[in-house]
A and B are shown apart, each in its own frame.
Chain A
């Protein structure tokens, strides 16, 4: 036996209590990882993108107030501008309004778009340029809907009074080495000239996307662009791509603040649960701690033993919460099945505990015997059965469909995993430190006098 074995045996001494504490932490961690991953997915493209030289020009007042097309040429002529393309959000309806049929549709200028988006590439650009109603679809979108060259895609206009009938002329991918942080390969692109033609006028556009020769250039270029259009009938706002995307988040209110507040509340709650459990556990073992001290265990040993025990319980919860989230969060069907199975299992376990408490220990009730002896096993079996049944009947779903495109994926990334690990360690340490400190300071005599 080692001190570690002793700590582990202590941690598993009251298995039901340890399981409930670990599951509380696991659930809290799952909530935290879910919220943080969601937040990261919303903010990550702008926040984590490599230094980009791409910028956006739009109407100073609002995106809904379009800019005249003449804006494009004026900006293109400025020093440091590599290229610029109109990028009109078309919206519209494909087949129906079900979330699974939602994807981004943009009207762009094929002569310039791929110069601005140099992180995208296609072998079908010439076909796109030559085909009036041609459409290029991103690789991910093509795979999701099974689109292939020659297909016709009809979009029913809602913002615009036009129903483009688009012919797929090619597929585009990310350029070598580029990372698709904005789900760009889930877009559909078509020619803005075709939109003009359908509308019977050269339409004003909500935004122009452009690229500067260097990221540093934007420091002087963006104010110069705004200055050029000052006092015109369409004053512009020029901003980096990152700032542009962040402005969408701002429209949703202080989402970051709200999520971080929720995370803090959840963590505080689980910390209290874990701390009270540890305090109770150590209080029950007062006499044992005193015995250890009488046998020669010093304050440091007692402190280490109790904190170690807290860390083991916390690690069990962490492993369950972080591991489960990492494996199942990207797959919403799996995630829902395991979450529901887990909730039912906890419900059954609580029910069994109620039976155990309600029916007297001295009674010969068979139900009580089963609840007290096999409650945990029954709860696990019921939970797993429900999980497996749900997995069998649940239709395949993805986050893109569920979130109407707002959250393309819920892959748990490294920073979130590290956060989960830190939370596990901090909860383990904080929840056990005070009981450990008290135990280490306890008088041997007071402990030995405690009546079991």
Chain B
């Protein structure tokens, strides 16, 4: 089993006045290659914090975070940025597309940092858009697209650099059920056919059902596999 992401005794503590709030408390988790993991839990349970640590956009207060054989704690800001561009795709709840760019240009954004030629970037963006079924919407701006289509463009942007790991933060949170299904179907294809490892934070049991494995967090602690929070 090839390990893609592993956290070891990871904690994240926020100081509020004199009190310390544990967003994450001694979390150990291992994600293997081709896993499709859903992280669930009530609001404030620490699932998004864990995702941010794995993405290298936040740093733990204690413990280590190793992703794709990189010890993120030892990397500088600029190294992390380059690393994210090369190895990680990110899908947000509210799509976060650039409104003045067309669908194709939005997908090309992370490719601008790769050193590819203009024509190679276009080809790669088109391939990503074809994969999410929106090749015919390349010239459309986000405003001209539905929420579901925008999220599919965001997924195309996340996979444009062909990353090994895709991180999703509530990817179906702003979508109707039909659009959510279409998005989950794409994740399924990415995981099963293209061997991408996916970690998805979600509140939606339907979305979690699409994952191969579901893990729950409660009050900053990762519950044992198969265990749910009380009242969940």
Kindly specify which of B35-43, B63-71, B110-118, B185-193 makes contact with the partner chain. Answer: B110-118
Question: A292: which of B55, B105, B109 is its contact (CB, 8 Å)?
Answer: B109
Residue of B nearest to A8 (CB): B100
> What B residues does A297 contact at CB under 8 A?
81, 85, 113
Q: Are A296 and B92 in contact (CB under 8 A)?
A: no
- For B59-95 the 0/1 string (1 means CB < 8 A from A) is 0000000000000000001100111111000101010
> What A residues does B161 contact at CB under 8 A?
296
- A140 interface hit (Cβ, 8 Å): no
CB of A296 to closest CB in B, whole Å: 2
Residue among A1, A300, A444 facing the most chain B CB atoms (10 A cut-off): A1
- B108 interface hit (Cβ, 8 Å): yes
Question: B101: which of A1, A293, A294 is its contact (CB, 8 Å)?
Answer: A1
Q: Are B98 and A288 in contact (CB under 8 A)?
A: yes
> What B residues does A63 contact at CB under 8 A?
none
> What B residues does A2 contact at CB under 8 A?
112, 118
> What A residues does B101 contact at CB under 8 A?
1, 6, 9
C-alpha gap A132/B181 in the complex (Å): 106
Q: Are B78 and A294 in contact (CB under 8 A)?
A: no
Q: Are B118 and A295 in contact (CB under 8 A)?
A: no
Within 8 A of B (CB), among A402-452: 444-445, 448, 452
CB of B64 to closest CB in A, whole Å: 20
- B177 interface hit (Cβ, 8 Å): no
Q: Are B84 and A448 in contact (CB under 8 A)?
A: no
Q: Are A296 and B86 in contact (CB under 8 A)?
A: yes
Q: Are A10 and B113 in contact (CB under 8 A)?
A: no
Majority SS at the chain A contact face: helix
> What B residues does A445 contact at CB under 8 A?
52, 57-58
> What A residues does B110 contact at CB under 8 A?
295-296
Residue of B nearest to A302 (CB): B81
> What B residues does A300 contact at CB under 8 A?
78
> What A residues does B55 contact at CB under 8 A?
294
**Residues of B within 8 A of A (CB-CB), count:** 31
> What B residues does A6 contact at CB under 8 A?
98, 101, 105, 109, 112
C-alpha gap A3/B110 in the complex (Å): 11
Residue of A nearest to B102 (CB): A1
C-alpha gap A61/B148 in the complex (Å): 89
Within 8 A of A (CB), among B113-130: 113, 118, 121
Residue among B78, B112, B118 facing the most chain A CB atoms (10 A cut-off): B112
Residue of A nearest to B98 (CB): A288
Given A296-B110, A297-B113, A287 and B96 contact (CB-CB distance below 8 Å): yes
Q: Are B57 and A296 in contact (CB under 8 A)?
A: no
Within 8 A of B (CB), among A1-17: 1-3, 5-6, 9-10, 12-13
Q: Are B84 and A295 in contact (CB under 8 A)?
A: yes
Residue of A nearest to B83 (CB): A296
- A204 interface hit (Cβ, 8 Å): no
Question: B57: which of A288, A293, A299 is its contact (CB, 8 Å)?
Answer: A293
C-alpha gap A10/B101 in the complex (Å): 9
Question: A298: which of B82, B92, B108, B112 is its contact (CB, 8 Å)?
Answer: B82
Majority SS at the chain B contact face: helix
- A43 interface hit (Cβ, 8 Å): no
Residue of B nearest to A9 (CB): B100
Given A296-B113, A445-B52, A291 and B108 contact (CB-CB distance below 8 Å): no
- A60 interface hit (Cβ, 8 Å): no
> What A residues does B104 contact at CB under 8 A?
1
> What A residues does B58 contact at CB under 8 A?
444-445
- A301 interface hit (Cβ, 8 Å): yes
Q: Are B112 and A1 in contact (CB under 8 A)?
A: yes
- For A1-36 the 0/1 string (1 means CB < 8 A from B) is 111011001101100000000000000000000000
Q: Are A1 and B84 in contact (CB under 8 A)?
A: no
Question: A10: which of B86, B90, B100, B108 is its contact (CB, 8 Å)?
Answer: B100
C-alpha gap A444/B57 in the complex (Å): 6
CB of B102 to closest CB in A, whole Å: 8
C-alpha gap A10/B109 in the complex (Å): 13
Residue of A nearest to B78 (CB): A298
Q: Are B94 and A298 in contact (CB under 8 A)?
A: no
Residue of B nearest to A298 (CB): B81
C-alpha gap A448/B57 in the complex (Å): 10
Residue of B nearest to A288 (CB): B98
CB of A18 to closest CB in B, whole Å: 12
C-alpha gap A298/B85 in the complex (Å): 10
C-alpha gap A179/B98 in the complex (Å): 57
C-alpha gap A287/B93 in the complex (Å): 13
> What A residues does B100 contact at CB under 8 A?
9-10, 12-13
C-alpha gap A287/B94 in the complex (Å): 10
Within 8 A of B (CB), among A267-302: 287-288, 291-301
Q: Are A291 and B92 in contact (CB under 8 A)?
A: yes
- B157 interface hit (Cβ, 8 Å): yes
> What A residues does B78 contact at CB under 8 A?
298-300
> What B residues does A292 contact at CB under 8 A?
109
- For B136-160 the 0/1 string (1 means CB < 8 A from A) is 0000000000000000000001000
> What B residues does A296 contact at CB under 8 A?
81-86, 110, 113, 161
CB of A358 to closest CB in B, whole Å: 26
Residue of A nearest to B105 (CB): A1
C-alpha gap A9/B101 in the complex (Å): 8
C-alpha gap A22/B77 in the complex (Å): 35
Within 8 A of B (CB), among A207-224: none
Residue of B nearest to A5 (CB): B105
CB of B25 to closest CB in A, whole Å: 19
CB of A79 to closest CB in B, whole Å: 74
> What A residues does B121 contact at CB under 8 A?
1
Q: Chain B interface (Cβ within 8 Å of chain A)?
A: 52, 55, 57-58, 77-78, 81-86, 90, 92, 94, 96, 98-101, 104-105, 108-110, 112-113, 118, 121, 157, 161
A-B contact pairs, 9 of them (CB 8 A): A1-B101, A1-B105, A3-B112, A6-B109, A12-B100, A13-B100, A292-B109, A294-B84, A296-B81
A2-B118, A297-B81 given; 10 more Cβ-contact pairs under 8 Å: A6-B105, A6-B112, A13-B99, A293-B57, A294-B55, A295-B85, A295-B109, A296-B85, A298-B77, A452-B94
Q: Which 4 A-B pairs have the closest CB atoms?
A: A296-B85, A298-B81, A291-B96, A444-B57
